[in-house]
């Protein structure tokens, strides 16, 4: 099935995992495997990069290379060659989000008040975020709305794998759930 990344939010990282740009995708060619994004000084031509594209129900991750395209940048996308037991890379991120629903016994339960959260890293299969103390427990399944640029928010479904508490907040490590995501979207 072809992907449609136009108008999605993209996080572009350098080889060290440092964020170079947080941009909207202006164009996408699935057949030729490239995206076009607004020009940003940090996007250096011929530089290799890693790209996280925020899509529902889970983000897509690619290796890439940056090229000039008029007054914009064209990022060629390709899959990295990974060895068998390598874990998916996690990308640092700092994006606001809201936990809007809990999922219990296959049913959505909307929160009376969304719980504010802050994503701190993400990968193709998981994410970590910070929120108020005890907002969720290990094993909880929930739906979270991740803020995108230009109001292009994405709904993700995840299961809490672990929780770490500090006196000020809780951090949650989560596995993104793709199965049955269309049913909840």
pLDDT of residue 58: 78
**Torsion sign over Cα 155, 143, 177, 146:** positive
Residue 60's DSSP bridge partners are: 53
pLDDT of residue 184: 56
How many angstroms separate the CA atoms of 121 and 92, rounded?
Answer: 4
Q: Which two tokens stand for residue 91?
A: 């990308």
The residue-averaged pLDDT of 40-47 equals 87
State the pLDDT confidence band at 83, using cuts at 50, 70 and 90: very low
Q: Is pLDDT of 82 > 80?
A: no
> Which carries the bigger pLDDT value, residue 151 or residue 67?
67
The SS3 call for residue 55 is coil
Q: Is pLDDT of 80 > 60?
A: no
């Amino acid at each position: 099935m072809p992907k449609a990344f136009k108008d999605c939010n993209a996080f572009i990282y350098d080889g060290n995992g440092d964020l170079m740009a947080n941009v909207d995708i202006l164009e996408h060619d699935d057949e030729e495997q490239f995206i076009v994004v607004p020009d940003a000084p940090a996007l250096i031509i011929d530089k290799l990069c890693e790209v996280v594209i925020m899509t529902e129900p889970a983000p897509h991750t690619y290796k890439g290379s940056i090229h000039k395209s008029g007054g914009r940048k064209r990022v060629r996308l390709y899959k990295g060659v990974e060895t068998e037991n390598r874990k998916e890379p996690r990308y640092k991120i700092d994006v606001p989000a809201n936990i809007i629903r809990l999922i219990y016994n296959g049913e959505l339960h909307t929160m009376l008040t969304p719980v504010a959260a802050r994503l701190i890293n993400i990968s193709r299969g998981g994410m970590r975020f910070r929120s108020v103390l005890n907002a969720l427990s290990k094993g909880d399944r929930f739906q979270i709305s991740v803020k995108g640029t230009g109001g292009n928010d994405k709904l993700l479904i995840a299961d809490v794998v672990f929780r770490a508490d500090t006196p000020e907040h809780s951090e949650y490590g989560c596995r993104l759930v793709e199965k049955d995501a269309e049913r909840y979207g």
